[in-house]
Chain A
Amino acid sequence: QSVLTQPPSVSGAPGQRVTISCTGSSSNIGAGYSVHWYQQLPGTAPKLLIYGNTNRPSGVPDRFSGSKSGTSASLAITGLQAEDEADYYCQSYDSSGVVFGGGTKLTVL
């Protein structure tokens, strides 16, 4: 059972917009800790997608955006492409250290 809750799966057609939620508590996201998002393509290592709630590392398309409100955060992907099919993980912190969400598998229909 992960500390941060994500939907197991989401799907969308090419060109559509999808969102992935990440629900925490007052002990982690709600305590003011930053949320980061990672993309893991099949058989590869995770890649940092969003850091500090809303920031994109160099090279990440602006189709990806992050937001945070209260005890939750969201990752939005617009203009969905086949190459976006992957697992997505949110990550934050609590008093014990680093916490991850359980991951969401994005399927591009």
Chain B
Amino acid sequence: EVQLLESGGGLVQPGGSLRLSCAASGFTFSSYAVSWVRQSPGKGLEWVASVNGGSDNTHYTDSVKGRFTISRDNSKNTLYLQMNSLRADDTAVYFCAKSPQYTTLTPLDYWGQGTLVTVSS
């Protein structure tokens, strides 16, 4: 059974940093692209970043470029999102999701339950 378990969310002050993790199980992690998608309270889905199976291809939404870094450790079956220079509008539930293919820009067929990040003073 495919499982994705996010962790690392919490309350952080504006300008601060946070690192999210997503532990994957039930599939060959290194064979599939994975992504972060966020959802602000009461709002819709917003794609954040994606990385392919080998970590040599990454994509980011414009609003997080230069502040967020997506990475993965295939030996630990774990996806990460390093978030720096956090702003109030980064407040959201962050979901990790896997693709059914090695490459990015493919559908998201399994999702974790999400971790809440709150940016506030």
Residues of A within 8 A of B (CB): 2, 34, 36, 38, 40, 44-48, 51-52, 57, 87, 89, 91, 93, 96-103
Q: Is the CB of B108 within 8 A of A48?
A: yes
Q: Is the CB of A38 within 8 A of B45?
A: yes
Closest to A40 in B: B45
Stretch at the interface among B11-19, B24-32, B59-67, B84-92: B59-67
Q: Is the CB of B59 within 8 A of A2?
A: no
Q: Is the CB of A100 within 8 A of B111?
A: no
CB contact between B111 and one of A46, A57, A103 (< 8 Å): that residue: A46
Q: How far is the CA of A37 from the CA of B108 in the complex (A)?
A: 10
CB contact between B50 and one of A36, A47, A91, A97 (< 8 Å): that residue: A97
Closest to A6 in B: B44
Shortest distance from the beta carbon of B11 to any chain A beta carbon, whole Å: 21
Closest to B48 in A: A98
Knowing that A45-B113, A96-B61 touch, tell me 18 more A-B residue pairs with CB under 8 angstroms: A36-B108, A45-B111, A45-B112, A46-B45, A46-B111, A48-B109, A91-B108, A93-B105, A96-B62, A98-B47, A98-B50, A98-B59, A99-B47, A100-B44, A100-B45, A100-B46, A101-B44, A103-B45
